[in-house]
């Protein structure tokens, strides 16, 4: 509404959410899905999301933003997440180019969302700009909390409350409905059958709606980080397979990509088709455009149903043709399991219900498998090892002794990084001194890797 102003009194035009994992995937998915429900603001607002640790995503974005009119939301439950804090530090450095003091930067251009107010304060974010989280909320379940601030800002509090209401309706359904009619339980048991009885180890998520294109990514985190476990509640190893590998894309796009594998490949999998029955075009379109959009929705529904049917029945859907007359490379075996989830239309309420449906499905399966869906120790060791690896990279660049002992593959990769770094430094030196080499003025020879194109190497 133009009430939050930048350091020089200009209205904010861009909100950038800096997070990773649950602090990024869920809010981004919902904001993208509900873009047409965005609330009216006095000044147009862009909503952007940054998560990439390497900085490339943020660097590209900053080229198109104005320091005076950009606000960053630093979303981290612990407020120590390396990826998030590295991006936040870079964002602060970018703001310093224009804004005269760190106090002005953090007061006008940063919001913090965390369970640790003392860490937000230490970083410079004033109390008035802090959004508190409960410390028991897991990241992948947190879009309903203060982590969902970008959602509330984009679709307004009325829209956000509708999202919550849809989730609450599914919560109540899960709590009170008999098992034989309980949607999360039925979805969970279908998965148990596919995984533990049929032995299927992969699942594809196929939303037939372009607005839900990041839903497969969201569900892959929700399911694999929750139930990708091998240890039961008593510390013993589970005797059954747990979460499958999950991937997906917008269904109509996937038809032109990996459906070849689904219909005629060798991996065993099952699929979830997700589709709204209706799509109500905005009144801003002409009558002819609205009619054409409705035709596209009907075409979309037809493709969704047809693909699920072919996965199930294969060539037998063409009852009037003798499939035996086809050459082997044109045969469809069918007999692939799938579930189709339909809802009336995509709204904040229906999306809230859909997300809660999968949350309760995941919890139900965790109970059956006797695993804890609320921890994620599998993501920790890599972060720990990265610290010693970073130290080794920095020591080698500074020609310091490296006491860390690495396996041969890792040592080879570190040596390649070292060689490339030194070659780059030498190139800069040659350019600054006007040195000419056989590769031309100001160029140093890159490290040679015989048989490897463009210096590409692989650690095995």
Burial class of residue 101 (count of CB atoms within 10 Å of its CB; 0-12, 13-18, 19+): exposed
Which pLDDT does position 429 carry in this prediction? 83
Which pLDDT does position 313 carry in this prediction? 96
- Side-chain-side CA neighbours of 423 within 13 Å: the count stands at 15
d(C-alpha 338, C-alpha 270), whole Å:
5
d(C-alpha 221, C-alpha 228), whole Å:
10
Select which of 77, 116, 223, 225 is catalytic.
Answer: 225
Which pLDDT does position 421 carry in this prediction? 86
Arithmetic mean of pLDDT, 3-19: 96
Arithmetic mean of pLDDT, 189-213: 98
pLDDT tens, residue by residue, 15-49: 999 999 999 999 999 999 999 999 888 788 999 99
Higher pLDDT, 442 or 275: 275
Q: How many helices (H) and strands (E) does the chain have?
A: 14, 11
d(C-alpha 366, C-alpha 368), whole Å:
5
**Does residue 436 surpass a pLDDT of 60?**
no
Which pLDDT does position 422 carry in this prediction? 84
Which pLDDT does position 459 carry in this prediction? 63
Select which of 256, 287, 325, 405 is catalytic.
Answer: 256
Contact 51, 24 (CB under 8 A): yes
**Does residue 444 surpass a pLDDT of 50?**
no
**Does residue 441 surpass a pLDDT of 70?**
no
Would 14-150 and 177-375 be classified into the same CATH topology? yes
pLDDT tens, residue by residue, 141-171: 999 999 999 999 999 999 999 999 999 999 9
Give the pair of three-digit tokens for residue 26.
Answer: 């869920």
Burial class of residue 287 (count of CB atoms within 10 Å of its CB; 0-12, 13-18, 19+): exposed
**Does residue 329 surpass a pLDDT of 70?**
yes
**Helix or strand or coil: residue 129?**
helix
Task: Enumerate the domain spans of the chain.
Answer: 14-150, 177-375, 379-455
* Cβ-based neighbour number of residue 387 at 10 Å: 10
d(C-alpha 161, C-alpha 20), whole Å:
24
Continuous H helices in 110-148: 117-123
**CATH class of segment(s) 14-150:** alpha beta
Which residues make Cβ contacts (< 8 Å) with residue 248, sequence separation at least 6?
204, 205, 206, 207, 215, 216, 217, 219, 220, 254
**Does residue 265 surpass a pLDDT of 50?**
yes
d(C-alpha 427, C-alpha 437), whole Å:
10
Higher pLDDT, 428 or 200: 200
- Tell me how far CA of residue 103 lies from CA of 113, 125, 134, 358, in angstroms: 18, 9, 27, 43
d(C-alpha 377, C-alpha 357), whole Å:
25
**Helix or strand or coil: residue 103?**
helix
Contact 105, 96 (CB under 8 A): yes
Domain 177-375: CATH superfamily is Glucose-6-phosphate isomerase like protein; domain 1 (3.40.50.10490)
pLDDT tens, residue by residue, 57-104: 999 999 999 999 999 999 999 999 999 999 999 999 999 999 989 999
d(C-alpha 31, C-alpha 23), whole Å:
13
Ranking 234-243, 320-329, 368-377 by mean pLDDT, the lowest is 320-329
Which pLDDT does position 460 carry in this prediction? 62
424 is catalytic: no
What share of the chain has pLDDT > 90, as a percent? Answer: 79
Which pLDDT does position 442 carry in this prediction? 43
Which pLDDT does position 453 carry in this prediction? 58
Select which of 89, 383, 449, 452 is catalytic.
Answer: 383
Average pLDDT of the chain is 92
Arithmetic mean of pLDDT, 420-435: 82
225 is catalytic: yes
Which pLDDT does position 446 carry in this prediction? 45
pTM, two decimals, is 0.90
**Concatenated DSSP letters of 314-358:** GGGG-TTS-GGGS-GGG------EEEEEEES---HHHHHHHHHHH
d(C-alpha 79, C-alpha 100), whole Å:
25
Arithmetic mean of pLDDT, 394-401: 69
256 is catalytic: yes
Arithmetic mean of pLDDT, 9-16: 96
Which pLDDT does position 455 carry in this prediction? 62
- Tell me how far CA of residue 389 lies from CA of 20, 149, 399, 417, in angstroms: 21, 35, 15, 12
Which pLDDT does position 404 carry in this prediction? 67
Confidence of residue 426 (pLDDT cuts 50, 70, 90): confident
Q: Of the candidates 138, 156, 134, which has an alpha carbon nearest to the alpha carbon of residue 146?
A: 134
d(C-alpha 272, C-alpha 207), whole Å:
8
- Tell me how far CA of residue 38 lies from CA of 10, 154, 211, in angstroms: 22, 5, 13
Arithmetic mean of pLDDT, 52-57: 96
pLDDT tens, residue by residue, 295-319: 999 999 999 999 999 999 999 888 7
Ranking 175-189, 208-222, 395-409 by mean pLDDT, the lowest is 395-409
């Amino acid at each position: 509404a133009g009430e939050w102003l930048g350091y020089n009194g200009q209205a904010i035009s861009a909100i950038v959410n800096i997070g990773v994992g649950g602090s990024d995937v869920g809010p981004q998915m919902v904001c993208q899905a509900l873009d047409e429900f965005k609330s009216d603001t006095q000044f147009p607002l862009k909503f952007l999301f940054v998560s990439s640790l390497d900085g490339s995503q943020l660097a590209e974005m900053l080229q198109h933003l104005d320091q005076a009119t950009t606000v960053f939301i630093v979303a981290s439950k612990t407020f120590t997440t390396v990826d998030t804090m590295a991006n936040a530090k870079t964002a602060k450095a970018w703001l310093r180019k224009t804004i005269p003091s760190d106090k002005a930067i953090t007061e006008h251009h940063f919001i913090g969302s965390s369970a640790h107010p003392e860490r937000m304060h230490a970083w410079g974010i004033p109390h008035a700009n802090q959004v508190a989280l409960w410390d028991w909320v897991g990241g992948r379940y947190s879009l309903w909390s203060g982590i969902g601030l970008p959602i509330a800002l984009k679709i307004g509090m009325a829209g956000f409350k509708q999202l919550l209401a849809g989730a609450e309706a599914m919560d109540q359904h899960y709590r009170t409905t008999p098992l034989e009619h309980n949607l999360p339980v039925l979805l969970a048991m279908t998965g148990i059958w596919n995984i533990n009885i049929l032995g299927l180890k992969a699942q594809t998520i196929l939303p037939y709606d372009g607005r839900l294109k990041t839903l497969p990514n969201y569900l892959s985190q929700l399911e694999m980080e929750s139930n990708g476990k091998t240890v039961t509640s008593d510390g013993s190893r589970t005797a059954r397979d747990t979460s499958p590998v999950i991937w997906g894309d917008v269904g109509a796009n996937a038809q032109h990509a990996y459906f070849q594998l689904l219909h005629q490949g060798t991996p065993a999998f099952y699929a979830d088709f997700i589709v709204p029955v209706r799509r109500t075009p905005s009144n801003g379109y002409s009558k002819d455009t609205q009619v054409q959009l409705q035709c596209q929705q009907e075409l979309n529904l037809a493709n969704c149903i047809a693909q699920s049917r072919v996965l199930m029945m294969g060539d037998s859907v063409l009852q009037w043709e003798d499939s035996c007359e086809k050459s082997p490379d044109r045969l469809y075996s069918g007999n692939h399991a799938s579930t189709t989830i339909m809802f009336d239309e995509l709204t904040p309420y229906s999306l809230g219900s859909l997300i809660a449906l999968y949350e309760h499905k995941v919890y139900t399966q965790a109970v059956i498998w006797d695993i804890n869906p609320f921890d994620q120790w599998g993501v920790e060791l890599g972060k720990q090892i990265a610290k010693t690896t970073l130290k080794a990279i920095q020591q080698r660049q500074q020609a310091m002794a490296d006491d860390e002992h690495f396996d041969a593959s890792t040592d080879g990769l570190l040596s390649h990084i070292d060689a490339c770094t030194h070659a780059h430094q030498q190139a800069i030196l040659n350019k600054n001194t006007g040195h000419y080499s056989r590769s031309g003025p100001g160029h140093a020879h890159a490290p040679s890797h015989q048989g490897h194109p463009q210096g590409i190497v692989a650690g095995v």
